């Protein structure tokens, strides 16, 4: 059992949980994730690791309430426990040193991009961060991101915070201004990652995306997280979650993400009514 030691509402529907998990906290690296099962009857869901503290033995997870399990999770309080927390899973984020990197976090993706930006900064890179959300109430960690970035750009779809537009807009401004970028790292919705990766392709800027397909076991056995990258089938849980954004078949990923939408809606309705 993994006790919740801290719970904070970060943004509308977005909750941070700091959870006791000493073994995971000791080994976790930026870019990895855990698979969580709340109780005996619960489904297993992947959650990216937003932070970890090996000394305290805790990991920080950020979840958006969209389905039955994430809604159940959002109703847990400090002192409650999560049954299983398996991890750290997936490969750590690939790091470079002394370069210029753009770190983009969209919506919930702001949480996992934070430890990646922090580590890139610690490795001597110039870190230019772009965080965005549909609207101001969904934004969080502006100050945390500013603290690990040389430059921070904020965008919202509706212009209620920062610049009105999408993450791709400040990124294109940088490219058009001739800023030499060694890498772009993106974590966000599949459509946002697709659009942003397309924008860097003609400029030959290496663009890494962190994929979020449906996952069940997280160990490469069930095949539910399969994605096509460079024409080859890959399992995001063991081969990723990071991949070359110019090689990912995003249309297939989006179609697979939509596959269980009706069942997920039904499960949420049954749980909340």
Q: Which residues bind ligand FES (CB under 6 A)?
A: 215-218, 220-225, 235, 237
Closest to ligand FES by CB, 54 or 220: 220
CB of 219 to ligand FES, least distance (A): 6
CB of 241 to ligand FES, least distance (A): 10
Closest to ligand FES by CB, 30 or 46: 46
Closest to ligand FES by CB, 2 or 256: 256
3-state secondary structure the chain: CEEEEEEEEEECCEEEEEEECHHHHHHCCCCCEEEEECCCCCCEEEEEEEEEECCCCEEEEEEECCCHHHHHHHCCCCCCEECEEEEEECCCCCCCCCCEEEEEEEHHHHHHHHHHHHHHHHCCCEEEEEEEECCHHHCCCHHHHHHCCCEEEEEECCCCCCEECCCHHHHHHHHHCCCCCCEEEEECCHHHHHHHHHHHHHHCCCEEEECCCCCCCCCCCCCCCEEEECCEEEEHHHHCCEEECCCECHHHHHHHHHCCHHHHHHHHHHHHC
What is the C-alpha separation between 92 and 210, in angstroms, rounded? 11
Closest to ligand FES by CB, 215 or 248: 215
Closest to ligand FES by CB, 89 or 139: 89
Burial label for 102, CB within 10 Å (0-12, 13-18, 19+), is buried
What is the C-alpha separation between 51 and 64, in angstroms, rounded? 16
CB of 113 to ligand FES, least distance (A): 22
Closest to ligand FES by CB, 124 or 223: 223
CB of 42 to ligand FES, least distance (A): 16
What is the C-alpha separation between 166 and 185, in angstroms, rounded? 15
Closest to ligand FES by CB, 43 or 217: 217
């Amino acid at each position: 059992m993994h006790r919740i030691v801290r719970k904070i509402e970060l943004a509308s529907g977005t909750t941070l949980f700091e959870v006791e998990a000493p073994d995971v906290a000791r080994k976790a690296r930026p870019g990895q994730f855990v698979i969580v099962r709340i109780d005996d009857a619960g489904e297993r869901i992947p959650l990216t690791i937003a932070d970890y503290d090996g000394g305290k033995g805790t990991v920080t997870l950020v979840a958006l309430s969209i389905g039955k399990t994430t809604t159940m999770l959002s109703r847990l309080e400090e002192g409650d426990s999560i049954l299983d927390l398996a991890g750290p899973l997936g490969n750590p984020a690939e790091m470079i040193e002394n370069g210029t990197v753009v770190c983009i976090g969209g919506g919930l993706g702001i949480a996992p991009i934070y430890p990646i930006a922090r580590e890139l900064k610690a490795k001597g890179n110039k870190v230019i961060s772009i965080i965005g959300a549909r609207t101001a109430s969904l934004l969080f960690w502006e100050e945390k991101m500013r603290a690990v970035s040389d430059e921070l750009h904020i965008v919202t779809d509706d212009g209620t915070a920062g610049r009105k537009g999408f993450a791709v807009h400040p990124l294109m401004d940088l490219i058009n201004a001739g800023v030499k970028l060694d890498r772009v790292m993106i974590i966000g919705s599949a459509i946002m990652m697709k659009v942003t990766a397309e924008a860097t392709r003609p400029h030959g800027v290496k663009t890494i995306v962190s994929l979020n397909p449906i996952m069940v076991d997280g160990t490469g056995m069930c095949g539910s997280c399969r994605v096509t990258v460079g024409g080859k089938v890959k399992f995001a849980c063991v081969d990723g979650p990071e991949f070359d954004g110019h090689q990912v078949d995003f249309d297939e990923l989006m179609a697979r993400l939509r596959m269980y939408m009706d069942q997920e809606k039904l499960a949420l309705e049954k749980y909340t009514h």
